[in-house]
Structure 1
Amino acid sequence: MKKLIFALPLLFGVLGIPSQTLAHTMLTNYLLNDKLEFQTTYSTDEVAEKAEVYVYAPNNFDEPWLESRTDEEGRFSFLPDSSIPGDWEVQIIDEGHGEKLLIVPVTEDGVDYENISYELRQDLHYSSTPISPIHSLLITAGVGGLWFAVLRKN
């Protein structure tokens, strides 16, 4: 019984050390054919199936110019209106588990394919506060001390 009493605080302390970050990153590849084609996957090789897609024109970032979803392979395509030059924004959201914003520059000649860029937004759903081994040891000592104090009173 005494071994169990001392093992529990140690177990809680060890569980406080994170082994990996739980986040996975959304990756979006693009290709320009007749339309601008995107495919969004995760770093785990899963496709972002049925992810929400919002396209905003440079003249109105308050209302989406186009709302759509990716297909079963995480694909989506559209062609920006070249009569509205500027930086178009493509926002891809998958059930709150990821969010990515692509900036698509458009000139009078069409999509400036070479200058498409990303703006990543952190997904707080998966983020964690880093705990160092020292913090874990302090947690273990605190839980162990409290556990010992409670048992000593009984």
Structure 2
Amino acid sequence: MEGLVKVPVKDGLFQWTSPSPMLVVSGCSACGELVFPKQDYCPECCTDTMEEKTIGSLGKLVCFTGITSPPPGFKGTVPYTVGIVEFPEGIRILGVMTEKNIDRLIPGMDIEIVMDTAFIEDEKEFLTYKFKPIQ
């Protein structure tokens, strides 16, 4: 993958150039609700008082499942696993796991956010966040 230009799969989802990648969320200044991905309106109190924030890179795995058939438009490889991770800030986020074997995953295990290749296309390496179990 040498020589490929690295780009995020979507701008504004994460900060990826620092040693500890962070997800970008919106926090409502009226009610405190956190949402990912960031958005302009609060789904809880229906106000436009959302402010961009980042959350830390460590969380706990809540639940997970294995995927063996790719969904329409998916450019990655199968099989893969997805999990819901709860972060100390009080938000739960769905994401792809780095561990493909569900037998190695345990609810409650510590997870960190890492940057990984989602797919390669047109001389570009598209990066995304993934959840990696901390051993």
Normalising by the smaller structure, the TM-score range is under 0.3
Bigger Rg, which one: 1
Higher strand proportion (structure 1 or 2): 2
Q: Which has the higher helix share?
A: 1
TM-score normalized with structure 2 length: 0.25
TM-score (norm: length of structure 1): 0.23
